[in-house]
Amino acid sequence: MDLIPLLPPLVALALILLTRKAALALFCATLTGAFLLTGPSPILAIRCLFEDHLFQKISGSSWSLSAIIFTLTLGAFATLLEKGGGFTTLLNRLLHKRGTHPQKKLLFGIYGLGLLCFFDGLANAILLGRVARPLTDGLRISRQFLAYLIDSTSSTVACIAFISTWIAAQLSIISDSLKLAPFQVNPAALFLNSIPANPYCILSLLLIPLIILKSWHIGPMKRAQPISLPDHREENEEHSPRVALVPLLTLVLTLPTFIYLWQDGSDWSWKNAFISPGVPYAMVAAGFVALTSAYLCFPKTKRKDAPQHMLDGAAALIPALIILICAWTLGSIFISLGTADLITELLGENLSTMAIPLVIFLIGAIMSFLTGSSWGTFGLLMPMALPLVLRLGIDLPPIELMDLTSMTIGAVFGGAVFGDHCSPFSDTTLVSSLAAGCTPTSHVATQLPYAMIAATGATCAYTLMWLGLASSLATLLSACLLVILVLTRPHPRDP
């Protein structure tokens, strides 16, 4: 059996482990694949890489180009909202309201703000850390717990939100990985159907309020101590919450409206709107409208700095876009090499078709933990996982095959986010710990037990899906077990 088509993914994985640079690893894998397709000539390999794969992926699909533009636009948008100060005002006002259990009130407020900042994972972590750290220090809440709170909210909510800096990349890579699907590919519908099949993200978001409610500190988190600081506070200029809420509301309302209005034909409906070829154009247009709104709402006293903030926000996402472009190219090379066919042949009869989501989730969790890159993980895994589903599920009815495809998409994203939560190499892990003011090592040690609880629940959910349960029901049962586990614990005395 010729195992050469497995060489590019093996090169990518090995280099990610050695260098911790996902973009470099994926590019080297694409170059390796180009040499396998053309032979030893460097000129032919480079021409093949750029002409037949990279440029074809960028220019040949409206999804690809819209993913790049929308992601850059949302990066600029997120930075304007962070620098505008509206979210800081919201949290400060929440803290100054009188009531009992100020620690819990503040933590629930931070969690709610994290859900509100669904549009970007890194911006979410940076914003919450900067805003909340002086407040949690004042109420003697450990910085490790703050780091867990913001880390477990940020990338998780960005992964399953339909409006985020992730979504364009997610939809484009789903579309590219299903070029050979025997059914009509609707990336938006498949993504929405994958949300209940992503129990890791759902359980992670459910676990946070339960832990706050019960003050459930386990493992190293029990030993995390608050920082004793002199009683001084930075005086920050307060701005109206409208600085943040109006642009956010504009984005939330504009995107679905544009998607609905961009559809063609006389039979207008939401179903027809989401399968319309106009969706990528609507996303870009909505992104520009939201960015314009954020600029107009930006405090007038600081507006001269707004263009630079927008450039900084867009530039911060360029490394992620490079990973995405390399992933598109690598997926195209996988198709040319027949990598998915070879994996199917290797698995043979040893893997049940319905077990694919479970296996993919476990592989993705291991990859993301070892590499620390959620985008690198789903960029490498999705182009292999979805063609594998199409090959092994060839005898399934189209409806069942689409359901299995959605489950696998959820498994890829859930496994990828696991590494964002507990890998010592993850950018989100590092940013969350630095924003919260604790060391990355202590953050990883204190967050890992909670991430493992959510991962165990997700594994149980995928096992139930393997046994034939619908993804939503399997996730619901796992969520119920998680709630029972936490709520039946003895209630410790609040600090």
Question: Mind giving me the DSSP string for 111-162?
Answer: HHHHHHTTT-HHHHHHHHHHHHHHHHHHTT--HHHHHHHHHHHHHHHHHH-S
Question: Per the confidence metrics, is the pTM higher than 0.85?
Answer: no
Mean pLDDT computed over every residue of the chain: 82
Find all residues with CB under 8 Å of 484, minimum gap 6, and list them. Answer: none
Quick count: other Cβ atoms within 10 Å of Cβ 317? 24
In a domain, residue 327? The reply is yes
In a domain, residue 227? The reply is no
Nearest CA-CA partner of 88 in 150, 139, 132: 132
Token pair of 313, please?
Answer: 């926000």
In a domain, residue 234? The reply is no
**Looking at the 3D structure of the chain, how many domains does it have?**
1
Q: How confident is the model at residue 490 (pLDDT cuts 50, 70, 90)?
A: low
In a domain, residue 19? The reply is yes
Domain range enclosing 104: 4-220+239-487
Q: Give the tens place of pLDDT for each residue, 284-297.
A: 898 899 899 999 98
Does the pLDDT of residue 233 top 50, yes or no? no
Q: How confident is the model at residue 247 (pLDDT cuts 50, 70, 90)?
A: confident
Percent of the chain scoring above 90 in pLDDT: 21
Does the pLDDT of residue 232 top 50, yes or no? no
Q: How confident is the model at residue 407 (pLDDT cuts 50, 70, 90)?
A: very high
In a domain, residue 167? The reply is yes
In a domain, residue 492? The reply is no
- CA-CA distances (angstroms) from residue 246 to 78, 287, 314, 399, 407? 13, 14, 21, 40, 35
How far apart are the C-alpha atoms of 446 and 141, rounded to whole Å? 14
Res 21: pLDDT: 77
Instruction: For residue 82, give the H/E element and its range.
Output: helix 62-84
146 versus 266: which is more confidently predicted? 146
Does the pLDDT of residue 495 top 50, yes or no? no
**Greatest Cα-to-Cα distance within the chain, rounded to the nearest angstrom:** 72
In a domain, residue 59? The reply is yes
Res 494: pLDDT: 44
In a domain, residue 230? The reply is no
At what angle are helices 199-214 and 398-422 packed, to 10 degrees? 50
| In contact, 164 and 158? CB cutoff 8 Å | yes
Q: Give the tens place of pLDDT for each residue, 42-51.
A: 999 999 888 8
